[in-house]
Amino acid sequence: MNVQENSDAGKSGGFAWKRLIPLLVLAAGLIAFFALGLDRYLTFDALKENRTWLLEQVQQSAVLAVLVYMAIYIAVVAFSLPGGAVMTITGGFLFGQWFGTLYVVLAATIGATILFIAAKTALGDLLRAKAGPFLKKMEAGFRENALSYLLVLRLIPIFPFFIVNLVPAFLGVSLRVFFIATFAGIIPGSFVYATVGAGLGSIFDAGGDFSARGILTPEIITALVGLALLALLPVAYKRYKAKRG
186 pLDDT higher than 80: yes
Q: What percent of the chain has pLDDT over 90?
A: 25
120 pLDDT higher than 60: yes
CB distance 109 to 186 below 8 Å: yes
Could you tell me which of 237, 221, 231 has the C-alpha nearest to residue 181? 231
- The pLDDT-based confidence of 127 (bands split at 50, 70, 90) is low
- Sign of the C-alpha dihedral, residues 12, 14, 20, 22? negative
13 pLDDT higher than 90: no
How far apart CA 197 and CA 195 sit, in angstroms, is 5
- Residue-wise pLDDT for 31-83, tens only, equals 666 665 666 767 878 888 888 999 999 999 999 999 999 999 999 998 888 88
How far apart CA 20 and CA 23 sit, in angstroms, is 5
CA triple 130-135-138, angle to 5 deg: 140
196 pLDDT higher than 80: yes
Could you tell me which of 176, 167, 200 has the C-alpha nearest to residue 91? 200
- State the pTM of this model: 0.74
